[in-house]
Structure 1
Amino acid sequence: MKRPFLFFLLPILLLIIAEVLSVYFIMPFPGSQLGLAETEAGPASLGRVELGYWLHKNIGWMRVVGLLLLAYPAFLIISKPRRVWQRYVAGILLLAYGVVLYQVNMEMMADHMFLQPIHKRVVPMSENKIPLNKLVVGFESMGEATAYPLQLIGYHHQVRDTVGGESIMVTYCTVCRTGRVFSPLVRGQADEFRLVGMDHFNAMFEDKRTGSWWRQATGEAIVGPLKGQSLTELTGRQMTLGEWAAEHPNTHVLQADPTFAEEFEHMKAYDRGLSKGKLTRRDSASWKPKSWVIGVERAGFSKAYDWNTLETKRILSDVVGGEPLVLTMAPDSVSFGAWSRRVGVQTLNFQYANKKLTDKETGSVWTWRGHCIAGSLAGRHLASIPKAHQEFWHSWRSFHPDTKQYDPGN
């Protein structure tokens, strides 16, 4: 071999580049994800993720081939170098590859950065240590209820649990502010999932059986053998623990695993949008990439409602997908509800005045939870709109490119 250094240099550089790109395309490095304002292309723009997926699935044989290709040139350079400096450069590059290999696979992979609870404790309210003003994603099934604090699931990204005999997967992405509850059944069988990276700044999970990658905000498999399939979304509701407990006195609450005390401390201000990181901090202005919105899906239609407008007006009435609905704000100004305005054959129109929510048709008084407490409709309940989520505007419009924006003037 006349030029062993060249035959060594090419495969070692390709190996280093392949290792870096395998994590670069699926983690929030500069330029690796679409910018927060660069969402016009929509989530169909998956080139980065598809390339990352290909590298993820093929990196094993690429390592073997690359190491085999550079083995003989490396031997010649080390044992019989044509120039002494080549031996040192080769050694430095081998060391660099080892460092990159370790960093990429042991430090930078998403499931190594954000770990699952080691000591998972779900306790009744009598044993609860979570403050009542903390936001939670609550889930109820068969008369049983459990609350999952955002401060905890925001770090873990997913927590598996069983509520009312139903297996659930509670997920959260802090960069999108998306809380979702899914059934972990894939093709009728319970599967295991690990956090694998991000797409359009949204968390992705990989299922254990097929290796498909699933988007957290929508539950859709975007690459892999199950591409196009979706996990069944279950109804989770976001509100303060105090409001959830008032509604579900028998609720259990996920507690903080002391193993991750430092990580949870970093999430302390996240609930109210006061995080230090620019990817998770709220923009208090309206309709900015990091502004809060409530997104509603109904019958194939979607619409976004500005959080500031709801906070000011306390209720917003509209029609989405043919369903008349009302969004309500709780007295704490951080909990909210989404309800159908239909009561039997009647469609109600609501007004909020003097800190009282009433319908114009009968003058009955309602709570923000959709319960009528006085008037001719006393005892009636508004039906919940299941797919109504608070999240960042950049996230909602990325994954709902056809969404409409609510205009309070119309």
Structure 2
Amino acid sequence: MKKLFYAGAVLLALFEILNVYFIMPMPGSQRMNSINWAYFLYTNRWIFRIVFTIVMLAGVRAAFSTARRWVPGVVLAALLAVVYMFNFVMTADHMFIQPATVAFDKAGETALNDSTVVIAVAHNSDIRAYPIRYIQYHHQVQDTVGGRRVIVTYCNVCRTGRVYEPLVKGQPERFRLVGMDHFNAMFEDETTRSWWRQVNGEAVTGPLRGEVLPEAESFQLTLGKLFQMYPQAQVMRADATFKEKYDTLGRFEKGRSKGQLTRTDSLSWQDKSWVVGVVKGDASKAFDWNELKRRRVLHDFLAGTPVAVVLSEDQQTFAAFERSSAEEAWELHADTVVVGDQRYNLRGESYAAGPSLTRLKSYQEFWHSWKTFHPDTEAAK
């Protein structure tokens, strides 16, 4: 009978490990198509725990009736350690916590320098910026911009910043970080417990599988460039509770992180190389960051439409636009986009109060992430 105690202990420990293994960046776990197995284990976790605990209890008296009762004691202590580690230490929502307060500073109030890279959201004349050095730890920040609820998300393993409206079937929803799949962060909604992918807002498993969160337009730029274009903008203030967790020197945003999962490859078209991914309808194309830095203006085509990708003098602020014709050549004078006799800022807004340029969705991302979640993408090589 004592074998039941040991069998139950081993099975319970193995379950607790696997319950986390499939949705955290552990060796081999993120290269498998295991999301459905992971969801099955997670949603049935209490069934597994109860069954394996009953098996243990069936043999506990026999196990502790031997002269070497310290052996089952050690096994039990090891099991409790595994349960604690894989439920209260190594789970995503215990490692990366949402800010307790979300407060903002104006241009003259913030302690951040102008080179700080931010994800900005604008709505109804309200412009708010979220520093990557903060949100890459939190993974999500829930806020209201110009009266519209948003969830600002970031995955530093994919280098993906996305902003969504937290609406599921038209109803407000709350989310928690649950883990990752194919190296991309996943969130769980509070109502149905479905799992949602950060990079595209799609529910990948659970009752709402196939549903997609509405994306809110966002743009990545430096804080200095933001305040130059929009003096009334505000930037998220650091939550003092998490000061030790923040990348206060901005190593990640500048490509200087040394972590195996968050490092940057200086060569082009490697897994950890930077690209600017541009989307138009169902079509997408990736542009090499090194080439963009070298030329600052890239002319190309996407889905048959002439496009241009531009990069600021600060080497961080970028944008993509449609061009009116294949022959139309764009230039950058300092950070002014010059198209013929027209002048625009880096948001495509005319300095002459004329019509704006047509912006395209564009994102800075690691190449491994872009090609994984845009399998049909073109690459501007």
How does the TM-score come out when normalised to structure 1?
Answer: 0.88
Structure 2 counterpart of 1:49: 35
Match of 1:99 among 75, 81, 86: 81
1:227-257 Cα deviation digits (max 9, x unpaired): 1111111111000011112222111110111
Which of 299, 313, 318 is the aligned partner of 1:331? 313
* Corresponding residue for residue 216 of structure 1: 198
Q: Which residue identity lines up with residue 320 of structure 2 in the other structure?
A: A
Distance 1:267 1:173 in 2: 18
C-alpha distance in 1 between matches for 2:245 and 2:45: 31
1:309 aligns with 2:287: no
Match in the other structure for 1:404 = 378
Structure 1 position 142 matched with structure 2 position 139: no
Matched, 1:384 2:359: yes
Alpha-carbon distance, 1:370 to partner: 2.9
The residue matched to 1:7 in structure 2 has which SS?
helix
Q: CA offsets per residue over residues 205-233 of structure 1, 9 Å max, x none?
A: 00000000001001111110011111111
**Is the contact made by 2:102 and 2:143 (CA closer than 8 Å) also made in structure 1?**
no
The CA distance in 1 between the partners of 2:293 and 2:322, in whole Å, is 19
Counterparts of 1:208 and 1:138, CA distance in 2: 26
CA contact (8 A) 2:128 2:236 kept: yes
Which is worse superposed, 91-100 or 14-23?
A: 91-100
Q: Distance in 2 between matches of 1:98 and 1:123?
A: 45
Local SS of the residue matching 1:398: helix
Q: How does 1:20-169 map to 2 (within 5 A)?
A: 20-34=17-31, 46=33, 48-78=34-64, 80-81=65-66, 84-85=67-68, 87-169=69-151
TM-fit CA distance, 1:319? 2.1
Task: Describe the superposition over 1:170-193 as per-residue Cα deviations: whole angstroms up to 9, x where unpaired.
Answer: 000001000000010011111110
Give the Å deviation of 1:339: 1.3
User: How big is the shift at 1:156?
Assistant: 0.4
Match among 151, 175, 183 for residue 201 of structure 1: 183
| Correspondence for 1:247 among 202, 209, 229 | 229
Say if 2:297 and 2:332, in contact at 8 Å, map to a contact too. Answer: no
- TM-superposed CA distance for 1:124, in Å, is 2.5
Deviations 1:274-297 (A, max 9, x none): 012121111111000000000011
**2:175 matched to 1:175?**
no
AA paired with 1:392? Answer: F
- Is the 2:4–2:58 contact (alpha carbons within 8 Å) kept by the matching residues of 1? no
Rate the CA distance shift 1:378–1:249 in 2: closer, same or farther, 3 A. Answer: closer
In the alignment, the residues of structure 2 paired with residue 366 and residue 168 of structure 1 have an alpha-carbon distance, to the nearest angstrom, of 28
Give the Cα–Cα distance (whole angstroms) in 2 for the partners of residues 24 and 267 of structure 1: 31
Q: What is the identity, as a one-letter code, of the residue corresponding to 2:163?
A: V
3-state SS of the aligned residue for 1:196? strand
C-alpha change, 1:266 and 1:370, in structure 2 (3 Å) is closer
Indicate whether 1:393 and 2:329 are aligned: no
Given that 1:146 and 1:252 are in contact with CA atoms closer than 8 Å, whether structure 2 keeps it comes out as yes
Gaps of 5+ in 2: none
Give yes or no for contact 2:192–2:207 (8 Å, CA) kept in 1: yes
Amino acid at match of 2:55: L
User: How far off is 1:334 after superposition?
Assistant: 1.1
Q: Distance between the aligned counterparts of 2:236 and 2:120, measured in 1?
A: 10
Check the 8 A contact 2:126/2:146 in 1, yes or no.
Answer: yes
Give the conservation status (yes or no) of the 8 Å contact 2:103–2:237: yes
Question: Residue 350 in 1 paired to residue 329 in 2?
Answer: yes
Answer yes or no: is the 8 Å Cα contact 1:364–1:378 preserved in 2.
Answer: no
Alpha-carbon deviation of 1:49?
1.8
8 Å Cα contact 1:298/1:323 also seen in 2? no
Q: Shift of the alpha carbon at 1:309? A: 0.8
Percent sequence identity over matched residues? 42
* TM-score (norm: length of structure 2): 0.95
8 Å contact 1:139–1:236 — kept in the other structure?
Answer: yes
What one-letter code is carried by the residue in structure 1 that aligns with 2:2?
A: F
Spell out the pairing of 1:270-309 with structure 2 (5 A cutoff).
270-309=252-291
Does 1:17 find its partner at 2:14? Answer: yes
Contact 1:220 1:230 in 2 (8 A): yes
RMSD: 1.9
Greater alpha carbon shift after TM alignment, 22-31 vs 321-330: 321-330
Worse overlay, 8-17 or 153-162: 8-17
CA–CA separation in structure 2 for the residues paired with 1:372 and 1:255: 31
1:184 alignment partner in structure 2: 166
- Structure 1's unaligned 5+ residue stretches are 35-44
Q: CA deviation at 1:372?
A: 5.0
- In structure 2, give the amino acid aligned to 1:104: F
User: Is the alpha carbon distance of 1:217 and 1:326 closer, same or farther for their aligned partners in structure 2, counting shifts above 3 Å?
Assistant: same
Question: Whole-Å Cα distance in 1 between the matches of residues 188 and 248 of structure 2?
Answer: 26
SS of equivalent residue, structure 2 residue 115: coil
Residues in 1 aligned to 2:116 and 2:230: alpha-carbon distance in whole angstroms: 16
Label 1:296 to 1:354 Cα distance change in 2 as closer, same or farther (>3 A).
closer
Report the Cα offset of residue 333 of structure 1: 1.2
> How many residues of Structure 1 are paired with residues of Structure 2 in the alignment?
380
- Please state if 1:370 is matched with 2:352: no
Which whole-Å CA distance do the structure 1 matches of 2:344 and 2:125 have between them? 24
2:116 touches 2:250 (CA, 8 Å); kept in 1?
no
Letter in 1 for 2:115: N
Bigger radius of gyration among the two: 1
